[in-house]
């Protein structure tokens, strides 16, 4: 472990369309003791070229998962296991970091936090990207939805990283629960990560939730109370922001439509997995 070093782990597979902006935002950080680890699933686009351009450490790893199952948690654990930093940060290839974010997260860990939530804001093309941004902003400060991505390596190793049996069906929320069970405290940065949704479509949103839903039952079995808080369609964060919904009726209609489609996709994905296990 290298004292002060931050290891940023990014799982990729043909992620070149977004990756350069992500890597450029890492390079612009005011905190410079950073290693960037790309865990790639044998991309055929510009991903590996960009990783070389920005001097990333590249690990080729293709986890053995069932077709249609989200493999990013496997790649994240793999990369974290090879990280040399005192701090680790799992990042997506379509996220852009504000300049002082890493310095702020490290500062919070030095104050005693074992992990840090880095709140996210979405942007992209089209009305569904606007609806996703509207949704994400309602979650700021809601720990049933927001999860830490930045950890001390000691805390990460202590909780054992992602529970791979959960896939994308609660794996990140499970990290929060494991941290609290171990007695760690979780901080939150003021700076906000920008999540590039690209050109979102309602079909893309449905398919993503269907994929997540295929492993959602595993989280229900492990943490039923937390599952209900996380997947309950009537969230406290929505009620807390009721004035925002009233001020923006057009976005509210898009948001409700989008969430109905996503919940339908998630529940159908869970039903699909249950039917195929019997």
Task: Provide the residue-wise pLDDT of the chain in tens; the chain has 278 residues.
Answer: 899 999 999 999 999 999 999 999 999 999 999 999 999 999 999 999 999 999 999 999 999 888 778 899 999 999 999 999 999 999 999 999 999 999 999 999 999 999 999 999 999 999 999 999 999 999 999 888 899 999 999 999 999 999 998 877 788 999 999 999 999 999 999 999 999 999 999 999 999 999 999 989 999 999 998 888 888 888 889 989 999 999 999 999 999 999 999 999 999 999 999 998 74
User: The pTM is what?
Assistant: 0.94
Between CA 132 and CA 144 the distance in angstroms is 18
Structural tokens at position 200: 């979102």
Per-residue confidence (pLDDT) for residue 186, from 0 to 100:
98
> Are 147 and 73 contacting, i.e. CB atoms less than 8 angstroms apart?
no
Between CA 105 and CA 29 the distance in angstroms is 12
- 178: containing domain: 2-277
- Domain total of the chain: 1
First-residue to last-residue Cα distance in the chain: 45
Between CA 108 and CA 239 the distance in angstroms is 30
Q: What is the domain-level CATH number for residue 77?
A: 3.90.550.10
Between CA 195 and CA 137 the distance in angstroms is 12
Per-residue confidence (pLDDT) for residue 135, from 0 to 100:
94
């Amino acid at each position: 472990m290298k004292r002060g070093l931050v290891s940023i782990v990014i799982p990729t597979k043909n992620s070149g369309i977004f990756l350069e902006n992500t890597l450029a935002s890492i390079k612009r950080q005011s905190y410079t003791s950073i290693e960037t680890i790309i865990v790639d699933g044998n991309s055929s686009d510009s991903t590996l070229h960009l990783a070389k351009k920005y001097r990333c450490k590249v690990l080729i790893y293709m986890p053995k998962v069932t077709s249609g199952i989200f493999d990013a948690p496997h790649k994240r654990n793999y990369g974290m296991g090879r990280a040399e930093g005192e701090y680790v940060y799992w990042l997506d290839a379509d996220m852009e970091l504000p300049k002082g974010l890493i310095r702020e997260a490290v500062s919070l860990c030095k104050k005693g936090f074992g992990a840090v939530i880095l709140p996210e804001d979405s942007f992209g093309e089209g009305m569904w990207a606007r609806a996703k941004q509207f949704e994400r902003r309602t979650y700021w400060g809601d720990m049933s939805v927001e999860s830490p991505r930045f950890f001390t390596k000691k805390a990460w190793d202590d909780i054992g990283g992602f529970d791979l049996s959960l896939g994308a069906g609660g794996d990140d929320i499970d990290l929060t629960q494991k941290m609290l069970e171990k007695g760690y405290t979780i901080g939150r940065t003021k700076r906000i990560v920008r999540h590039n949704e690209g050109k979102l479509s309602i079909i893309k949103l449905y398919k993503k939730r269907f994929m997540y839903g295929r492993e959602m039952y595993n989280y229900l079995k492990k943490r039923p109370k937390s599952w209900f808080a996380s997947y309950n369609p009537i969230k406290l964060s929505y009620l807390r922001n009721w004035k925002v919904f009233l001020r923006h009726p057009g976005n509210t209609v898009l948001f409700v439509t989008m969430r109905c489609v996503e919940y339908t996709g998630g529940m159908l994905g869970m039903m699909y997995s249950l039917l195929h296990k019997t």
